Homo-oligomer: A and B are copies of this chain.
Amino acid sequence: MTVELLCVGTELLLGNIVNTNAAYLAEGCAALGLSCYHQSVVGDNEERLEEAVKLALKRADIVILSGGLGPTKDDITKEVTARAFGRALHEDAHTKERISGYFRHMKTAGVTENNWKQALVPEGAIVVDNHNGTAPGLIIEGEEKTAILLPGPPNELKPMFEEAIAPYLNKLVPEGIYSRMIKLCGIGESKAETMIADLMERQTNPTIAPYAKTGEVHLRVTAKAKNEEEADRLLEPVTKELYRRFGDMIYTEDEKVSLEDVVAALLTDQKLTLTTAESCTGGKLAGRIVNVAGVSGVYSEGYITYSNDAKSRLLGVSSETLEKYGAVSVQTAKEMAEGAARAAVADAALSVTGIAGPDGGTKEKPVGLVYIGCYLKGHTRVEEFHFTGNREKNRDYAVVRALTLLREELLANRG
């Protein structure tokens, strides 16, 4: 079964935004075992869009369109696709009610007249609720071909694809695709690839594909199988082999579980509380920990101490340490972690101090130098890192390394 992607939007044609939707959808379709031979981008132009829709429907069994479902009259993806299938548009009461509810809930902004355009759906189409915006997703099933219409904003498209479209597509593929996402922390992508080069070459079912995320490596192990049982039989030996090679670097096999989820779960299991003391990351580490819904059981407060004065006053870092070793030093990172644990009466504390850039670097302490401290029940470990990205990337890497460090300490503490 073949699928083709058609992304609609003048901002893509002008290069104002990078087409991350195409990569996301392509990856999702490949994981489902669908073959994709073409991706295209067209603007919000009726004639060209119609041509593109027809060409895609000629070439592939399923065409996934994204973008152009907004409330303005520039948005014509639905109208043009419905016409290609010979379907009229009618108002969908359920969607109208959902959009009303969306605006009632928002309170600040009223429904404008053009929003009701989004409640129009092609005859016989499957309506997919959008939990993060107003435009519904639509599945138009023709006699031989199917079109799937998704909203353009990635934070609407991605959850909709995951929740509704992937399960829909999965039913269409006779040999299903089953995959596990083996997520690693504390290792670089090249190193990880080198360690499994032989497996990647040898394996055909399941296959192994690595994806680099900031500070993490994810390995997708994918099997083609008739059912879940057969899939498990195929996936299990490869998973075991990966554990043999990477050991504790593997923090989950579950696509939906993040590194912060795992750290929060370890803290909960061990009945430990955590606090944070951040300089260069300036709240990003805490922000990531608070991503975990229900984290309040283990995390109740954190400190952003950007200035030396704040480090001393809030965390009790001694002025002698700051003068002698500087704010970016092993000693300061250690005192920050210990001081934060003391101030918050927490069992564990993470501290981050470094030079994120672009300025502030010296020969001895260059941009990218970051110290991360991890206090756990009376003992503090400090690690030194040298990141090579820009300000934003250096701070993101520091956050992942801090979580990785705490995870290591919590695993050791568990024994």
Interface residues of A (CB under 8 A from B): 10-20, 22-30, 36-43, 45, 48, 52, 70-72, 102, 105-109, 112, 114-115, 131-132, 153, 155, 159, 188-191, 193-194, 197, 209, 211-212, 214, 220, 276, 278, 280-291, 293-296, 299-307, 309-310, 314, 344, 356-359, 366, 368, 385-393, 395
Contact = CB atoms under 8 A, between A and B. Distances in A.
A343 to B, nearest CB: 9
Given A283-B284, A284-B290, A290-B306, 15 more contacts: A12-B23, A12-B26, A14-B36, A15-B28, A37-B48, A105-B366, A105-B368, A109-B190, A115-B190, A282-B283, A282-B289, A283-B287, A283-B289, A300-B310, A301-B307
A300 to B, nearest CB: 3
A114 B190 contact: yes
A322 to B, nearest CB: 14
Contact of A309 (B17, B26, B300, B359): B300
A29, A283, A392 — most chain B CB neighbours (10 Å): A283
Contacts of A389: 132, 155
A102 B388 contact: yes
Contact of A304 (B10, B27, B131, B286): B286
A287 B392 CA distance: 10
B301 A388 contact: no
B48 A30 contact: no
A144 B246 CA distance: 49
What copy number does this chain have within its complex? 2
Given A39-B40, A306-B300, A287 B287 contact: yes
A273 to B, nearest CB: 10
Contact of A194 (B107, B114, B197, B287): B114
Contacts of A209: 10-11, 16
A36 to B, nearest CB: 5
Contact of A291 (B14, B15, B310, B391): B391
Given A37-B13, A284-B283, A310 B304 contact: no
Contacts of A71: 190, 193
Contacts of A14: 26-27, 30, 36
Nearest to A5: B41
A367 B287 CA distance: 18
A210 to B, nearest CB: 8
A311 B259 CA distance: 27
Nearest to A102: B388
A390 B22 contact: no
B282 A194 contact: no
Contact of A290 (B15, B29, B220, B283): B283
A135 to B, nearest CB: 11
Contacts of A307: 296, 300-301
Nearest to A210: B72
B300 A112 contact: no
Contact of A22 (B41, B284, B301, B366): B41
Nearest to A193: B72
Contact of A42 (B38, B41, B357): B38
5 contacts: A18-B19, A37-B45, A38-B52, A286-B286, A287-B287
